[in-house]
A = this chain, B = another copy of it.
């Protein structure tokens, strides 16, 4: 044992004291949720984990994820006790100028992925676990969960997948303190019930008293000895506020700091040292991961006259970039034959992860992979991206590098009906600060935007269509983020049609119809929905009488129309064509006609000017 049991107890005491001081100083926070887990954290940080306190980027460091993010002060205290930050830094908790926020965020570089929306940490841990295997690294990942957050289904999605993939380097430590925010939890102190659940999902489980160091230490020994290829769950019975009688196992104290005047009394209960204050780190050395160097480029070789769905081109392109960059991985939620990520699965089976029908965990796992330097491409139907909206939001807070690829966007999917139609996906991705949204209209632009997404550091969403579409661009055309393309242009254009994806083809049809009547229009392919090419759109508008028609296969709000208004302001008259009601099942063309986004509606809009 590197650290003596008395030293571990002393670390537990010090973690408690710092958690209390920091939250009282901040005047808010969750001290009682820190105290239930202090002994578990002491063992995890100061006995179990191998890491270099001087180097958060050491690729062989064991990783820790505080899934119960509201216990952040405990994490900051652990960093202080590990010598990573100063004790006085912990007292800056929750200040506007502090990197130690109310819930963990990557503003401190020891945190990879933000937590605080509950039930997400285990998925992130699974992503770490996958990365360890991909890079042949010996590190383990430890995720500390609250009992309350185990009500989140995502925990069980992660549990099922971790077992399926034999993630024996993944530990779930559940702090079963029996108290939620607003009352007793569903299963209260029944650690055996939690163990039954994890066991049914294929995990190796043990139950302990989470304040008994002998039991906790022994459990980790048993995991090492008997865990086999199973992921490991430790169900620890604890008390919220353990060690301070004001808080211990009392309702009404969730998320409340001890008032300043009561702090001395609380600290007095913790004033006796329990052992030496010592910690000897045991970093792993000699491990490295080879980074990708150079500029990612791919060759596009579409034939003129060819017809291909953008989703199919996605499958082709992701294979090409994977060939160049070994850190590119792909995940899919049992739709790989529709999103064409199966091309990746066949070409690079070890770097492809079938995540089954569990989109929340898929996104969380991708975020974990991205945190370990991978470039994950996550694909499913655009409609089902909404299943992971909160996880995508949190990937945003984490400023992650996940690439989201939603196929079957819009009503143009046809007969499957509204449940399968992605009509609010742009509205979901646009608000995320820094997000990039790309929406190609043909196979060439589809391949190019996949390449651009892989090059870009940050969250990208690529929107893809189901139907086959004609090739519009030459193979060497480039599609930089923030650009746009003019597909039709004359000196006499009466209006600019701003289209993207499938509606570009409707716009071209409309232009041909109008041409026969002697009317010219400009067509702008807004393949980069965010950032949108504001100057390009404004210039086109100015040259076409200040008239814009936006046509999109998306609901009226939150999509391309809103984006165009954002850049155009009052500098043009904008007519919007979008889906305005719950659509029905039917053939794609009939649906586009019925819901007002077909060529005939574009013609009518032009004529209305």
Using a CB–CB distance below 8 Å, which chain A residues touch chain B? 26, 28-29, 69, 94-96, 98, 101-103, 105, 107, 114-119, 148-149, 151-157, 160-161, 164, 180-183, 185-186, 193, 196-197, 199-201, 254, 332, 334-338, 342, 354, 356-358, 360-361, 383-384, 386-387, 389-390, 393-394, 396-397, 399, 414-420, 423-424, 427-428, 430-434, 530, 554-559, 561-563, 565-566, 568-574, 580-582, 584-587, 590-591, 594
B-chain residues with CB within 8 Å of residue A94 when the two chains form the complex: 415, 417, 585-586
With A and B bound together, what is the CA distance between A204 and B342 in angstroms? 38
B585 touches A101 (CB 8 A): yes
Pick the contact of A585 from B95, B423, B558 — CB < 8 Å? B95
Contacts of A433 in B (CB 8 A): 555, 580-582
A-B complex: 10 closest residue pairs judged by Cβ atoms = A153-B153, A116-B419, A96-B586, A389-B389, A431-B555, A200-B200, A101-B585, A430-B557, A102-B417, A387-B390
Distance between Cα atoms of A352 and B291 in the complex (Å): 54
Which residue of chain B has its CB nearest to the CB of A26? B415
A397: chain B residues at CB < 8 Å are: 418-419, 582
A547 to chain B, nearest CB (A): 10
5 A-B pairs in the complex with CB atoms less than 8 angstroms apart: A94-B586, A103-B420, A105-B419, A152-B153, A431-B555
A157 touches B149 (CB 8 A): no
CB proximity of A5 to chain B, nearest CB, Å: 33
Partner of A354, one of B183, B357, B423: B183
Given contacts A103-B417, A424-B428, A556-B566, 15 further A-B contacts (CB under 8 A): A94-B417, A96-B585, A103-B420, A116-B418, A149-B357, A153-B154, A181-B334, A181-B338, A384-B390, A386-B390, A424-B432, A427-B430, A433-B581, A557-B563, A570-B574
Does B156 lie within 8 Å of A594, measured CB to CB? no
User: In the complex, which residue of chain B has the Cβ closest to the Cβ of A117?
Assistant: B419
Query: Taking CB as reference atom, which chain B residue is nearest A559?
Result: B431
The one of B98, B399, B431, B594 that contacts A424, using a Cβ cutoff of 8 Å: B431
